[in-house]
Amino acid sequence: MIASDVRLGEGVLIHQPDLVNLYGCRIGSGTRVGPFVEIQKDVEVGANCKISSHSFLCSGVIIEDFVFIGHGVMFINDVYPAAVNADGSIQSADDWTCLPTRVRRNASIGSNATILGGISIGEHALIGAGAVVTHDVPHHAIVAGVPARIVGDARAARASREGTVQTLEIS
Amino acid sequence: MIASDVRLGEGVLIHQPDLVNLYGCRIGSGTRVGPFVEIQKDVEVGANCKISSHSFLCSGVIIEDFVFIGHGVMFINDVYPAAVNADGSIQSADDWTCLPTRVRRNASIGSNATILGGISIGEHALIGAGAVVTHDVPHHAIVAGVPARIVGDARAARASREGTVQTLEIS
Amino acid sequence: MIASDVRLGEGVLIHQPDLVNLYGCRIGSGTRVGPFVEIQKDVEVGANCKISSHSFLCSGVIIEDFVFIGHGVMFINDVYPAAVNADGSIQSADDWTCLPTRVRRNASIGSNATILGGISIGEHALIGAGAVVTHDVPHHAIVAGVPARIVGDARAARASREGTVQTLEIS
């Protein structure tokens, strides 16, 4: 289910087009998208990213180039989700403010992580699996936990791959 | 995949009927259901709810009116999940007790939250994103974390929307 | 979407064949697979298991017999996920080491749990819902939390089903 208004760059690879739900979004060249992914309208995904299975990218999300989104990652774009307004009427697009979220180039988000609305994730940052991100993440930071805290520096971790796992473990 | 035994109220909106798995359940009028949602038999969803993408509502779950279920929310209905019985035989419906869970009107459950079986979530309660709910949640409570703890009151948060986010962040 | 190279044992039950993504894997006899499940190439699932909806089993995962995988469970097989190599080139299968993970017989993994790569989960172990497993789990251990810690013994819990819930709650 790739709506006709989706703009796909050159060489975009969507492994199972019948098992995704993409509409009104733009996907940069060379990016790969797994099955069971929903990408809503106005989302922009950069070039050479990987959007893994079971992830949800809501309106308001901007993904820069070279970003890795793990499996089951959920983005959020409202402060206070609700089915109805205070007066009981059904909420429509006019009834809430869409909080923008930006994931900067080369960041990696671990599986089952949840990213609250209005967040900025820095370049080369690493979000641990299962983390709930409630604050901005600096460039190169490694964060983990619920809520996510800074537990290391991705530059050091890149220098020693064993180090990455250890850092995440002590979170 | 909407089984023929699903009872849909007036104006129910299922965005991608081919990308859900609904059977034996009842969905109240005006409720919206996203893609990649499974709703099992005997589940009752009230009117004017929103069931977001990637969520799983198991048998035993009752959702009252005006409830918001975020993305990737998983309900549970057994104490001790297992593939087989102690004697090695495959578990069937007769081999376990289905724990009932009720989500009361106007409650909101954040994305990637997990709700254990046998839980009652109070009216207007707010479950933080990524929370694992192991106890009953009182009316109007805000809970967050793993396991979920009470971190605020939804009435105060509604009065000051900025307050909601802050409360969740300090959890 | 069950690829032609999937080897299914006798009596395997895949509830919604059009709503899964299985390729290059082997599923043992009597095992049941829910909707919105992806199982990648080289995965081996034993006999009489239950793989619940919305779960992701990546290459490198071996599931022994009689294992229960809850809903929304994500396995991981790399230390440091990334979209691109340090030189900016797209990562291919040759650019990372696939960490093997083994789930031993009769283990049960709760919903929304995340299992890091290179992990061994012991026989009859119980992984709490929403746990992020970063270390090996001994036989019969109950683990819960982010990161997962040992909170009980499954043998004691089996003897007193009420006990299981309580143990998980105090985690």
Give the span between the Cα atoms of A100 and A95, in whole angstroms. Answer: 16
Q: How confident is the model at residue C169 (pLDDT cuts 50, 70, 90)?
A: very low
> Would A84 be classed as within a structural domain?
no
> Would B87 be classed as within a structural domain?
no
A167 CB neighbours in chain C (<8 A) are none
Model ipTM value: 0.89
Name beta bridge partners: B52.
Answer: none
> Would C72 be classed as within a structural domain?
yes
Q: How far, CA to CA in Å, does C136 sit from each of C10, C50, C67?
A: 32, 22, 16
A141-144 and A149-153 strand pairing: antiparallel
Is the pLDDT assigned to residue A162 strictly greater than 90? no
Q: What is the pLDDT of residues A66-118, one digit of tens each?
A: 999 999 999 999 876 666 666 667 666 667 789 999 999 999 999 999 999 99
Percent of chain C at pLDDT > 70 equals: 83
B88 CB neighbours in chain C (<8 A) are 66
Q: Residue A30's domain spans which residues? A: 7-79+94-169
Q: How confident is the model at residue C163 (pLDDT cuts 50, 70, 90)?
A: very low
> Would B85 be classed as within a structural domain?
no
Question: Please, how many CA atoms are within 13 Å of residue C82, restricted to the half-sphere of its CB?
Answer: 24
User: Interior CA angle at A142 toward A136 and A147, to 5°?
Assistant: 55
In B15-171, beta strands by DSSP E:
21-22, 26-27, 32-33, 38-39, 44-45, 50-51, 56-57, 61-63, 68-69, 74-75, 101-103, 108-109, 114-115, 120-121, 126-127, 132-133, 141-144, 149-153
Split into its structural domains, chain C has a count of 1
**Domain containing residue A39: CATH number:** 2.160.10.10
3-state class of A95 per DSSP? helix
Q: How far, CA to CA in Å, does C10 sit from each of A47, B140, C48?
A: 44, 50, 10
Q: Is C106 on the interface with B (CB under 8 A)?
A: yes
Q: Name which residue leads in pLDDT, C171 or B45.
A: B45
> Would A134 be classed as within a structural domain?
yes
Q: What is the pLDDT of residues C45-61, one digit of tens each?
A: 999 999 999 999 999 99
Is the pLDDT assigned to residue A164 strictly greater than 80? no
> Would A119 be classed as within a structural domain?
yes
- A residues 13-72 lying closer than 8 A (beta carbon) to C: 15-16, 18-19, 30, 34-36, 48-50, 53-54, 66-68, 70-72
Q: How far, CA to CA in Å, does A92 sit from each of A80, A85, A146, B13, B31?
A: 14, 9, 30, 13, 13
DSSP letter (8 states) at residue A18? G
Q: Is A152 on the interface with C (CB under 8 A)?
A: no
Give the span between the Cα atoms of A1 and A23, in whole angstroms. Answer: 8
Give the span between the Cα atoms of B56 and B158, in whole angstroms. Answer: 27
> Would A46 be classed as within a structural domain?
yes
> Would B130 be classed as within a structural domain?
yes
What does the pLDDT read at residue B93?
Answer: 66
Read out DSSP for C112-128?
T-EE-TT-EE-TT-EEP
pTM: 0.91
The closest alpha carbon to B47, from B34, B33, B66, belongs to B66
